[in-house]
């Protein structure tokens, strides 16, 4: 089976190109028809597969770190009469169920990343729509902050998945139409039932786009809007980015991976992957200048990039690994010194980008459809940003007291300001607020313990861990948990975890992922979509899908 690699760089791009003009970046989608990730389909009409989106995710990430001077990004097509035809139907029709769902999840995360770029990084995205903009193509545009549509006979926006394919717009299309664009429900019902979509003035009247421009003036207006928005964004002059170098990774035959700051040990027989994050080996730099000089090798940026890659790899390439076990090791005091230096300089653009990256990374972990547990052993360094993992997982186990033949430093947990607002979940709450939903006093009590090194008894009293176990019970309890988790249905576990992890208020983001986990996951299993006579497999044959009329 082909291993999917989420690492790429500009020299390898086949589907996108970027031109930088001072504060404006021109991002052009020009998909190579023959550049599909798998055999068996051509990426016609600027349609995309996971490989196209891996490149886009890389571009969006590099825009933040390598080009901080950019205030406006214009997303446009490099092909005539088509903006983007959306996800490639032949690819979806031939893909496994797990690949379909993982593909939708990754594309959602990529859309969310550039959608938040204006708030997080002062980078505003404009969709310059010329030609057909359908399905996932319109979802690419929907995630932009401003949509401009040319007014001609071939340009329209559409979400035709329901009538054409018997599936849903899988990258948040329905949710963004109502929750972000505030399209009236009855108009949204019409829009999502029209194969041909909506064009011209009606698209603006229905709030599907922000502006409609005559074709003859389109390029001029797009350039003017980009310059105008760039002028409104107050960025410091002379910003210079850092280069994101290729990650150093060693893949083992058993699926394990060694990175510079973490390791992943895969046990396929047990269905587990143990992800051990190592604290920094060196003391934190003495000054901000020395920190910035490290570039992509500063500890928290390097760790984030490596952990991000590891999570994506496990999702896509280790489908039978059902339990992720998070551990840490290292000097907690040194780790917290590195973090404190970040927070002391969070006004610097690069430090801000590192913190915003951790926000995105932790959200990716939140929505990963694996059971997750944290093991707090002696010698661990669960503090600050790394302590967020304790509140992202489903359960946590912590060593309590001395263990025979274990001379490591006693297991402790330390909370910092990082646990109280900088990396919220998709529901808009911190992980502690979500953990203690409806119990503000518990959150306040945790806040009173900031910067304290909490042993198992103290952490348990504050509700920060699930179990504190002594030397007698430790191995048996962990073993029984792993065995029990492996015995449950993965389907039931995914459904349970997706429900329990997101307590509290609904947001556009939680609805997007909730609907993906439940509705799209279910629809991708139904014969109306993926059966031999289903719409997805019959697309392009001239035959309509045959549907069971039973409502379930």
Angle between the 332-344 and 349-366 helix axes, to the nearest 10 degrees? Answer: 120
pLDDT surpasses 90 at 121: yes
CA distance 336 to 286: 14
Q: Looking at residue 516, what is its pLDDT?
A: 83
Interval 26-36: pLDDT, tens: 999 999 999 99
Burial class from Cβ neighbours inside 10 Å (0-12, 13-18, 19+) for residue 72 reads buried
Which three-class secondary structure string do you get for 236-256?
CCCCCCCCCCCCCCEECCCCC
Interval 391-442: pLDDT, tens: 999 999 999 999 999 999 999 999 999 999 999 999 999 999 999 999 999 9
What is the 8-class DSSP label of residue 216?
Answer: G
Between 171 and 131, the higher pLDDT residue: 131
CA distance 291 to 97: 44
Q: Do residues 41 and 80 make contact, with C-beta atoms less than 8 angstroms apart?
A: no
Strand pairing partners for 198?
Answer: 157
Interval 237-283: pLDDT, tens: 889 999 999 999 999 999 999 999 999 999 999 999 999 999 999 99
Burial class from Cβ neighbours inside 10 Å (0-12, 13-18, 19+) for residue 22 reads exposed
What is the 8-class DSSP label of residue 525?
Answer: T
User: Would residue 485 be called left, alpha or beta, if left means φ above 0 and alpha means ψ between -120 and 50 degrees?
Assistant: alpha
CA distance 312 to 287: 33
Interval 503-537: pLDDT, tens: 999 999 999 998 888 888 888 888 999 998 999 88
Q: Looking at residue 344, what is its pLDDT?
A: 96
Q: Do residues 278 and 284 make contact, with C-beta atoms less than 8 angstroms apart?
A: no
Number of residues that this document lists for the chain: 552
Q: Looking at residue 1, what is its pLDDT?
A: 63
Interval 343-380: pLDDT, tens: 999 999 999 999 999 999 999 999 999 999 999 999 99
CA distance 292 to 242: 9
CA distance 390 to 483: 21
Q: Do residues 385 and 300 make contact, with C-beta atoms less than 8 angstroms apart?
A: yes
Q: What are phi and psi of 204, to 5 degrees?
A: -75, -45
pTM over 0.75: yes
Instruction: Determine how many CB atoms are found less than 10 A away from the CB of residue 539.
Output: 18
3-state secondary structure of 260: coil
Run of H or E including 63: helix 50-65
Domains observed in the chain: 10-232 (3.90.226.10), 250-497 (3.90.226.10)
């Amino acid at each position: 089976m082909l291993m999917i690699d989420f690492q790429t760089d500009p020299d390898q791009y086949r589907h996108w190109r970027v031109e930088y003009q001072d504060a404006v970046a021109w991002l052009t989608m020009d998909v190579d028809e023959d550049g599909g990730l798998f055999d068996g389909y051509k990426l016609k009409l600027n349609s995309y597969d996971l490989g196209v989106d891996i490149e886009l995710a890389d571009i969006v990430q590099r825009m933040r770190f390598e080009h901080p001077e950019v205030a406006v990004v214009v997303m446009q097509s490099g092909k005539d009469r088509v903006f983007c035809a959306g996800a490639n139907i032949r690819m979806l029709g031939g893909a496994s169920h797990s690949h379909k769902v993982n593909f939708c999840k990754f594309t959602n995360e990529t859309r969310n990343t550039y959608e938040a770029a204006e708030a997080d990084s002062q980078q505003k995205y404009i969709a310059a729509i010329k030609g057909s903009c359908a399905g996932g193509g319109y979802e690419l545009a929907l995630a932009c902050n401003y949509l401009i549509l040319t007014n001609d006979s071939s340009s329209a926006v559409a979400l035709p998945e329901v009538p054409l394919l018997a599936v849903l717009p899988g990258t948040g299309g329905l949710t963004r139409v109502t929750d972000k664009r505030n399209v009236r429900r009855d108009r949204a019902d019409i829009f999502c039932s029209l194969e041909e979509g909506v064009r011209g003035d009606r698209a603006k009247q229905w709030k599907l786009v922000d502006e409609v421009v005559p074709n003859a003036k389109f390029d001029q207006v797009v350039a003017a809007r980009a310059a105008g928005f760039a002028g409104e964004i107050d960025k410091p002059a002379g910003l210079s980015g850092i280069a994101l170098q290729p990650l150093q990774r060693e893949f083992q035959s058993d699926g394990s991976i060694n990175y510079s700051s973490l390791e992943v040990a895969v046990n396929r027989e047990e269905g587990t992957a143990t992800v051990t994050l190592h604290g920094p080996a060196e003391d934190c730099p003495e000054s901000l200048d020395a920190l910035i000089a490290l570039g992509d090798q500063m500890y928290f940026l390097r760790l984030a990039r490596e952990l991000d890659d590891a999570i994506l790899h496990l999702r896509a390439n280790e489908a039978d690994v059902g339990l992720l076990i998070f551990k840490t090791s290292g000097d907690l005091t040194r780790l917290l010194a590195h973090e404190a230096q970040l927070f002391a300089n969070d006004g610097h653009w690069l430090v801000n980008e590192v913190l915003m990256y951790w926000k995105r990374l932790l959200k990716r972990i939140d929505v990963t459809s694996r059971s997750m547990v944290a093991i707090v052993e002696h010698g661990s360094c669960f503090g600050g940003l790394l302590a967020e993992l304790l509140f992202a997982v489903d359960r946590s186990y912590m060593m309590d007291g001395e263990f025979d033949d274990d001379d490591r430093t006693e297991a402790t947990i330390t909370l910092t300001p990082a646990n109280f607002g900088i990396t919220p979940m998709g529901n808009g709450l911190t992980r502690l607020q979500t953990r203690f939903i409806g119990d503000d006093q518990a959150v306040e009590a945790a806040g009173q313990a900031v910067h304290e090194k909490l042993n198992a008894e103290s952490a348990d009293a504050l509700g920060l861990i699930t179990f504190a176990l002594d030397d007698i019970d430790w191995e048996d309890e962990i073993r029984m948990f792993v065995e029990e988790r492996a015995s449950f249905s993965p389907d039931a576990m995914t459904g349970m975890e997706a429900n329990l992890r997101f307590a509290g208020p609904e947001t556009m983001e939680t609805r997007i992922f909730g609907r993906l986990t439940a509705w799209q996951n279910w629809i991708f299993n139904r014969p109306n979509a993926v059966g031999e006579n289903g719409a997805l497999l019959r697309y392009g044959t001239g035959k309509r899908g045959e549907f069971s009329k039973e409502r379930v």
